Amino acid sequence: MTFELFVFYLFAAIMIFAASRVISVRNPVHAAMYLVLTFFTCAGIWLLLEAEFLAMTLVLVYVGAVMVLFLFVVMMLDVNVEPMREGFVKYLPVGLLVGLIMLVEMVFLITQRYFKSEQFPIPERASAEGMSNTESLGRLLYSEYLFQFEIAAIILLVAIVAAIALTMRRRPETKYQKPSEQIAANKQDRLRVVQMPSEKRT
Amino acid sequence: MDNLQIATPEIFLLAATCAVLVVGLFTKPKSNAVYWLSQLTLVITLMMAVSQIGGETKTGFSGAYTVDALSASLKSWLLVVAVGIFLYSRDYVGARKIQRHEYFVLGLFAVSGMMIMVSATHMLTVYLGLELLALSQYAMVALHRDNGRAAEAAMKYFVLGALASGMLLYGMSMVYGATGSLDLNVIADILAGNGDAMTAERTIGARFGLTFLIVGIAFKLGAVPFHMWVPDVYEGAPTSVTMFISTAPKIAAFAMLIRLLVGGLETLSADWQQMLAIMAALSMVVGNLIAIAQTNIKRMLAYSTISHVGFLLMGLVGATSEGYSAAMFYAITYAFTTLAAFGVLLAVSREGHEADELKDLAGLGKRNALLATVMMIAMISLAGVPPAVGFYAKLSVLQAAVGAGFTWLAILAVIMSVIGAFYYLRIIKLMFFDDATDETEVKPAGDVSAALAVNGVAVLVLGIAPGFIMSACIAAFA
């Protein structure tokens, strides 16, 4: 067994273990942590495939941003997942049946002639000698796919505009601080000296 | 530089949209500055698009973007429709709690998405243009935030739209797997047998992808059996957004259909002809029959849209260039006619009152004769009665279908349009022969009345002299 194969099996085993823990642990925070582990080992497997750009994005975007956000949500909302598990045994047969049908379909498709892997040969190595995967991706993105890249940027802009337009609203009941008015306040505005005759304690 | 030159309309539109977005920040919520700037942007873009008509076919950005007769004329028409949409919806949006700056900016983004779709000859560009259009529209539907029904409609539209995009992407990935390219021209070459050998097995893979592509497109067009979202979204969305959804995007969806099925997969036309024929027949039957039972006019127009999508698809079933031009004519004139119908609905609505039930139109002939006349012209055009343009559009798709041997479909279409005439004519009866339940004066702004009059006259004149648009449609597929 070569070293590469050993690393693959190691990562694959960790990934399967972590992925099954994601859906089996009771504590949602732990589940999120196991999901982080799953993503991380998956990035490792991609590194083995020399897809270092994908591996980096997976770690940066999913582990770095999405999962942190996820953890925040889970920790702040105090989600009680127990009720969601109640029907687990009841739905297990249906779930298994669906899974089995999907497995049979996949095997059928992959082994039959139309979708057999021989029909779709492995593409040739695209990256030239001495050029990393990231570099060739970058070159493609900013030359051949420039138009699509720009449209994708516009789509993100639309998402921002839409999200702000749909959620931002002026609430009259919200109290805002106005520092300029606070500084400009003087004694006459805030303080009123009232003259009262003294009274006896009753 | 050649690349940038052919894409000037889109580049200008997007840059101007960003500028309008910034201007919106510095103007008061009540001001019309954003509206006028948006209209100016659209008109300048329209002039740029018109200047491309008659030019030679040019492809740029590594095959991602094409300017040809089809794209130049479709872009011009959809920009004209967009100018109308903005004009008709100005007062409606202003009178409601809809953020008008965002409304017009999102509208401009949607228009640029449509233009990108029209020019796309690369599956990635098709998809991205579609998403740009769809995302802007989901947001526009939800923009009336205090309205629960708008939120519900936006949710339905978003979920089903995402599902449709997924289907489309899956189909694209299968076609990519079978042909090894995303460029539609290259795909057409490979499927036709040029280049490396196209085995029977790989053709099956492409057909498999084709099925999903058609499902995705049918969702976006709203063809039966993928029409479930149409009535709910039309009814729930603010009327101005319903008008937006039902007019210009139909032209863009038609372009997408042509680019994918004719531009890329014409070799497989024997397969998609059958699928389109079945969808066309079902759409015409379901749309026309269910529309009869509707009392809400927006729902009724939704089912009417479904039936018209059936007619549009009928033009394509023959896979002949006459049929394509007939369908293109249908898409353009349908957008114009629906624009007039919704324009009247928007003008009849006022602050605190939505004209969306049939009875709201009762007696409109006495309340405002101009609006009632425009509505009547739109209805006879949708019903396909001469001399309105709808008659000529229906006639040309019927001719194409009969010419291609789909006589059964043509007979069904004629029967269905006779049944459909009932609910269009009912509106005319309501407007002119029934007593008004609501005597409030209907007084739209001067420019809106003028534009509606022009729109109504155009629907009539194009029906009498259709050659102007028809020759452009024929040139697009010559």
Reply yes or no on whether the pLDDT at A127 is more than 60.
no
What distance in Å separates residue B133's CA from the closest CA in chain A? 9
**Concatenated DSSP letters for B55-90?**
PPPEEETTTTEEE-HHHHHHHHHHHHHHHHHHHHHH
Match 């995302």 to its residue by tokens: B135
Work out how many domains chain A is built from and give that number.
Answer: 3
* Mean of pLDDT values over A41-53: 89
Question: Inter-chain contact A158–B132, Cβ cutoff 8 Å?
Answer: yes
**Concatenated DSSP letters for chain A?**
--HHHHHHHHHHHHHHHHHHHHHH-S-HHHHHHHHHHHHHHHHHHHHHTT-HHHHHHIIIIIIIIIHHHHHHHHHHHT---HHHHTTHHHHHHHHHHHHHHHHHHHHHHHHSTTT-GGGSPPPPP-SPTT--HHHHHHHHHHTTTHHHHHHHHHHHHHHHHHHHHHH----TTSPPP-HHHHHH--HHHH------------
Encoded tokens for B250: 């139909």
Q: Note the pLDDT of residue A77.
A: 78
Q: Do you find a cis peptide bond into B387, omega within 30 degrees of 0?
A: yes
Residue A140 neighbours by CB under 8 Å, 6+ apart: none
CA distance A141 to B241: 35
**Which of B6, B23, B124 to mutate: most A Cβ within 10 Å?**
B124
Q: Note the pLDDT of residue B248.
A: 92
Give pLDDT tens digits for B243-280. 999 999 999 999 999 999 998 888 888 889 999 999 99
**Nearest in space to B176 (alpha carbons), one of B132, B141, B212, B224:** B212
Chain A residues close to B65, C-beta within 8 Å = 147
Confidence bin at A21 (pLDDT 50/70/90): very high
Going by their DSSP bridges, the two strands B65-67 and B58-60 should be labelled as antiparallel
Co-location of A59 and A117 in the same domain: no
Find the radius of gyration of the CA atoms of chain B: 21
Q: Note the pLDDT of residue A202.
A: 75
Position A185 in a domain: no
Q: Note the pLDDT of residue B412.
A: 94
Co-location of A62 and A20 in the same domain: yes
* Mean of pLDDT values over A60-86: 81
Reply yes or no on whether the pLDDT at A126 is more than 70.
no
CA distance B431 to B435: 8
Q: Note the pLDDT of residue A81.
A: 64
Position A191 in a domain: no
Q: Note the pLDDT of residue B325.
A: 93
Position A15 in a domain: yes
Question: Inter-chain contact B131–A155, Cβ cutoff 8 Å?
Answer: yes
**Do residues B253 and B220 lie in contact, with contact meaning Cβ atoms separated by under 8 Å?**
yes
Chain B residues close to A166, C-beta within 8 Å = 139, 142-143, 145
CA distance A16 to A22: 10
Q: Note the pLDDT of residue B196.
A: 64
B316 C-beta neighbours (distance < 10 Å), count: 29
Say which amino acid occupies B55.
G
Strands (E), B176-328: none
Q: Which of A74-78, B74-78, B382-386 has the lowest mean pLDDT?
A: A74-78
Q: Which of A169-178, B102-111, B200-209 has the lowest mean pLDDT?
A: A169-178
Q: Note the pLDDT of residue B233.
A: 94
Co-location of A18 and A78 in the same domain: yes
**Which of A120, A151, A168, A171 to mutate: most B Cβ within 10 Å?**
A151
**Do residues B361 and B348 lie in contact, with contact meaning Cβ atoms separated by under 8 Å?**
yes
- Domain span at residue B337 reads 2-476
Query: How far separated are the first and last CA of chain B, in Å rounded?
Result: 29
**Which of A113, A147, A168 to mutate: most B Cβ within 10 Å?**
A147
Confidence bin at A115 (pLDDT 50/70/90): low
- Give me chain B's average pLDDT, please: 90
Question: Inter-chain contact B62–A151, Cβ cutoff 8 Å?
Answer: no
Q: Note the pLDDT of residue B418.
A: 93
Co-location of A104 and A48 in the same domain: no
Confidence bin at A79 (pLDDT 50/70/90): low
Confidence bin at A11 (pLDDT 50/70/90): very high
Q: Note the pLDDT of residue B245.
A: 93
Q: Is B120 helix (H, G, I), strand (E, B) or coil?
A: strand
Position A198 in a domain: no
Reply yes or no on whether the pLDDT at A128 is more than 70.
no
Q: Note the pLDDT of residue B349.
A: 87
CA distance B230 to B49: 30
Co-location of A2 and A79 in the same domain: yes
Question: Inter-chain contact A166–B61, Cβ cutoff 8 Å?
Answer: no
**Which of B105, B114, B211 to mutate: most A Cβ within 10 Å?**
B105
Q: Note the pLDDT of residue B12.
A: 95
Q: Note the pLDDT of residue B4.
A: 82
**Concatenated DSSP letters for B336-374?**
HHHHHHHHHHHHH-BTTB---BGGGGTTHHHH-HHHHHH
- Give me chain A's average pLDDT, please: 84
Work out how many domains chain B is built from and give that number.
Answer: 1
CATH code, A5: 1.20.120.1200
Reply yes or no on whether the pLDDT at B69 is more than 70.
yes
Co-location of A156 and A108 in the same domain: no
- Of the three residues A99, A122, A145, the one that is the final residue of a domain is A122
Instruction: Point out the residue among A148, A157, A166 whose CB comes nearest to the CB of B142.
Output: A166
The residue of chain B nearest to residue A113, with distances taken between CA atoms, is B201
**Do residues B309 and B225 lie in contact, with contact meaning Cβ atoms separated by under 8 Å?**
no
Q: What percentage of chain B has pLDDT greater than the value 90?
A: 64
* Mean of pLDDT values over B382-388: 89
Give pLDDT tens digits for B85-114. 999 999 888 888 777 888 999 999 999 999
pTM: 0.87
Q: Note the pLDDT of residue B197.
A: 61
Q: Note the pLDDT of residue B131.
A: 95
Confidence bin at A120 (pLDDT 50/70/90): low
The residue of chain A nearest to residue B177, with distances taken between CA atoms, is A120
CB pairs under 8 A between A and B: 79
* Mean of pLDDT values over A135-149: 88
Give pLDDT tens digits for B42-56. 999 999 999 988 888
Co-location of A102 and A58 in the same domain: no
Q: What percentage of chain B has pLDDT greater than the value 70?
A: 99
Q: Which residues pair with B296 in a beta bridge?
A: B357
Chain B residues close to A116, C-beta within 8 Å = 201
Phi, psi of B120 (to 5 degrees): -80, 125
* Mean of pLDDT values over B308-313: 94
Co-location of A82 and A95 in the same domain: no
Position A25 in a domain: yes
Encoded tokens for A112: 């039959």
What residues in chain B have their Cβ under 8 A from chain A's Cβ atoms?
Answer: 3, 7, 14, 18, 21, 60-62, 64-65, 99, 102, 105-106, 109, 112, 116, 122, 124-125, 128-129, 131-132, 135-136, 138-139, 142-143, 145, 177, 180, 199, 201-202, 204-205, 208
Co-location of A12 and A32 in the same domain: yes
Co-location of A141 and A115 in the same domain: no
Question: Inter-chain contact A162–B136, Cβ cutoff 8 Å?
Answer: yes
Q: Which of A68-82, B154-168, B172-186, B327-341 has the lowest mean pLDDT?
A: A68-82
Question: Inter-chain contact B109–A161, Cβ cutoff 8 Å?
Answer: yes
**Do residues B114 and B85 lie in contact, with contact meaning Cβ atoms separated by under 8 Å?**
no
Q: Note the pLDDT of residue B381.
A: 94
Question: Inter-chain contact B129–A146, Cβ cutoff 8 Å?
Answer: no
CA distance B466 to B328: 13
Give pLDDT tens digits for B340-360. 999 999 998 887 778 888 888
Instruction: Point out the residue among A120, A145, A151 whose CB comes nearest to the CB of B177.
Output: A120
Q: Note the pLDDT of residue A148.
A: 93
Co-location of A6 and A51 in the same domain: yes
Co-location of A25 and A42 in the same domain: yes
Query: Within a 13 Å sphere around the CA of B350, how many CA atoms are in the beta-carbon half?
Result: 9
Instruction: Point out the residue among B61, B139, B180 whose CB comes nearest to the CB of A146.
Output: B61
Q: Note the pLDDT of residue B309.
A: 95
What distance in Å separates residue A198's CA from the closest CA in chain B? 55
More confident residue, A41 or A196: A41
Position A18 in a domain: yes
Confidence bin at A186 (pLDDT 50/70/90): confident
- Domain span at residue A94 reads 88-122
**Do residues B88 and B243 lie in contact, with contact meaning Cβ atoms separated by under 8 Å?**
yes
